[in-house]
Amino acid sequence: MVSEMGTEVEAVQWLNGALTLLDQRCLPQQEVYLTCTDVAAVATAIQKMVVRGAPAIGIAAAYGVVLAAKQRYWQAAEEWQYHIDQDLTLLAQSRPTAVNLFWAIARMRERIKHIGGDDPVHRLLHEAESIHHEDNQANRCMGELGARLITASCNVLTHCNAGALATGGYGTALGVIRCAFRLKKIHQVYADETRPWLQGSRLTAWELLRDNIPVTLLADGAASYLMKQGNIGWVIVGADRIAANGDVANKIGTLGLAVNARYHGVKFMVVAPTSTVDLSLSHGDAIPIEHRPAAEVLTLGGESVAATGAQAWNPAFDITPAALIDAIVTEKGVIESPDQNKTMALMQNEVYLPQN
């Protein structure tokens, strides 16, 4: 499918009164679309990673609220606002780390509070579509802002998938890469395969190649040696939650990249909309980290690869301290060498835009 605003894929779509999701577990082998007609199906799709990536999870949840309202209003028009609360709780329980989920639910909840006794569906759908559209616009803006930071033509390294698949379109980290590549500021994109879910080799590679951007994959453990070769200018990643002091939760392995980048003199850029910033948490250690089933580490493509009896530790995210981050790019502007004062100022609209 080709989006109105670009050639990149649409992972989340509202079609014929239901939520259609590109099942990201099947990529790149198969392009399978899954239709969710009730809120429970949306919560399950988020939990099982049919849809993944912080902004996309939030957008899917917002449409999930529309489906919940439809059902609750149809069941009991006078009491739907009371009963929908349990649906919002169900959605909030689907995954713990990406704050965009809770941000989108809170925004839909606020909208619910201000709807009177009328049929709520079209008003909530309008809100969900606004969340979706605003995310797409934010990504295009961040793409340009992030590309401005790349002053000399270079190679870049990304991790996980922070692209159109993970957002309302265009992508965060991949939005910057898309924009900088078109401006001929990037020679070569390297992508970590990103064990255990292989978002890099399955999703990022698929998405970039579809957009005619060449990509070279590497095993996660090879990133340090790649940086030592001296030809990487920037590591560019997305985020699942950014604390008030600029600490960043992102896909497991991001912290290792940031440590390596600093050691090797490589710049480190985080690209995320302000819906990913959580000012209620003063620092990254307070961010809840999702731990996923051991089977994801012990198996590959459904086949057991580990010695029988081995256990596995499987945190899905880690925290990169602000001190290791050169720039956080948001749609409101760029924070260089982030800290609490700069994050607060940005969220209060005191924006700083790089010049070149």
For ligand MRU, the binding residues (CB under 6 A) are 52-55, 98, 160, 162, 166-167, 172, 199, 238-240, 250-251, 316
At residue 249, the 3 state secondary structure works out as strand
Spacing of C-alpha 308 from chain mean position: 34
Spacing of C-alpha 130 from chain mean position: 17
Taking the least distance from each CB to ligand MRU, the nearer of 71 and 158 is: 158
Tokens standing for 258? 């940031």
| Minimum gap (Å) between residue 16 Cβ and ligand MRU | 26
Q: Is 284 exposed, middle or buried (0-12, 13-18, 19+ CB in 10 A)?
A: buried
Computed on alpha carbons and rounded to an integer, the radius of gyration of the chain in Å comes to: 20
| Minimum gap (Å) between residue 32 Cβ and ligand MRU | 17
| Minimum gap (Å) between residue 199 Cβ and ligand MRU | 5
Q: Are 66 and 60 in contact (CB under 8 A)?
A: no
| Minimum gap (Å) between residue 292 Cβ and ligand MRU | 8
Taking the least distance from each CB to ligand MRU, the nearer of 50 and 124 is: 50
Taking the least distance from each CB to ligand MRU, the nearer of 236 and 335 is: 236
Taking the least distance from each CB to ligand MRU, the nearer of 104 and 112 is: 104
Tokens standing for 194? 């990103």
Taking the least distance from each CB to ligand MRU, the nearer of 12 and 160 is: 160
Tokens standing for 140? 């295009």
Q: Are 260 and 75 in contact (CB under 8 A)?
A: no
Distance CA 281, CA 184 (A): 38
| Minimum gap (Å) between residue 254 Cβ and ligand MRU | 8
At residue 179, the 3 state secondary structure works out as helix
What is the set of active-site residues?
240
DSSP strand E in the chain: where? Answer: 12-15, 18-22, 33-36, 154-158, 186-192, 215-218, 232-237, 241-243, 248-251, 267-271, 277-278, 299-300, 303-304, 317-320, 327-330, 333-336
16: CB partners within 8 A, 6+ apart? none
Taking the least distance from each CB to ligand MRU, the nearer of 37 and 314 is: 314
